[in-house]
Amino acid sequence: GAVVSQHPSWVICKSGTSVKIECRSLDFQATTMFWYRQFPKQSLMLMATSNEGSKATYEQGVEKDKFLINHASLTLSTLTVTSAHPEDSSFYICSAREGGEYGYTFGSGTRLTVV
Amino acid sequence: AQSVTQPDIHITVSEGASLELRCNYSYGATPYLFWYVQSPGQGLQLLLKYFSGDTLVQGIKGFEAEFKRSQSSFNLRKPSVHWSDAAEYFCAVGARSGATNKLIFGTGTLLAVQP
The distance of A87 to chain B (nearest Cα, Å) reads 19
Q: Is the pLDDT of residue B85 over 70?
A: yes
Specify whether the CB–CB gap between B20 and B108 falls below 8 A: no
pLDDT score for B99: 67
What is each CA distance from B43 to A3, A31, A84, B46, B89, in whole angstroms? 11, 20, 23, 10, 12
Rounded to whole angstroms, the Cα distance separating B16 from B82 reads 6
Question: How close does chain A come to B108, measured CA to CA in Å?
Answer: 6
B95: confidence class by pLDDT, cuts 50, 70, 90: confident
Q: Are B14 and B114 in contact (CB under 8 A)?
A: yes
B76 reaches A (C-beta below 8 A):
no
B82 touches B112 (CB < 8 A): no
DSSP string for residues in A11-47: EEE-TT--EEEEEEESSS--SEEEEEEE-TTS-EEEE
Q: Is B35 on the interface with A (CB under 8 A)?
A: no
Mean per-residue pLDDT over chain B, rounded: 92
pLDDT number for residue B27: 83
Asked if A33 is an interface residue toward chain B (Cβ–Cβ < 8 A), one would say: no
**Is the dihedral angle over the CA atoms A52, A59, A45, B76 positive or is it negative?**
negative
> Does B44 touch chain A if contact means CB atoms closer than 8 Å?
yes
- CB of B39 closer than 8 Å to CB of B84: no
Q: What are the tens digits of pLDDT across the range A6-22?
A: 999 999 999 999 999 99
User: What is the distance between the alpha carbons of residues B55 and B46, in angstroms, rounded to a whole number?
Assistant: 18
Q: Are strands B44-50 and B100-105 parallel, antiparallel or unpaired?
A: unpaired
pLDDT digits (tens, 9 = 90+) for A49-82: 988 888 899 999 999 999 999 998 999 999 999 9
Asked if residue B25 lies in contact with residue B4, where contact means CB atoms within 8 angstroms, the answer is yes
pLDDT, tens only, B104-115 = 999 999 999 999
Calculate how close chain B gets to A109, using CA atoms only, in Å.
5
Half-sphere exposure of B29 (CA within 13 A, CB side): 6
Q: Please, which residues have CB within 8 angstroms of residue A39's CB and are 6 or more apart in sequence?
A: A45, A90, A91
Buried b (16+ CB within 10 A) or exposed e, A94-106: bbbbbeeebebbb
pLDDT exceeds cutoff 80 at B30? no
Residue A76 in contact with partner chain B when CB distance is under 8 A: no
Arithmetic mean of pLDDT, A23-30: 92
B101 vs A102: CB contact, 8 Å cut-off? yes
Distance between CA B93 and CA A48 in Å, rounded? 17
3 state DSSP class of B104: strand
- Work out the average pLDDT over B69-90: 96
In this prediction, what percent of chain A has a pLDDT beyond 70? 98
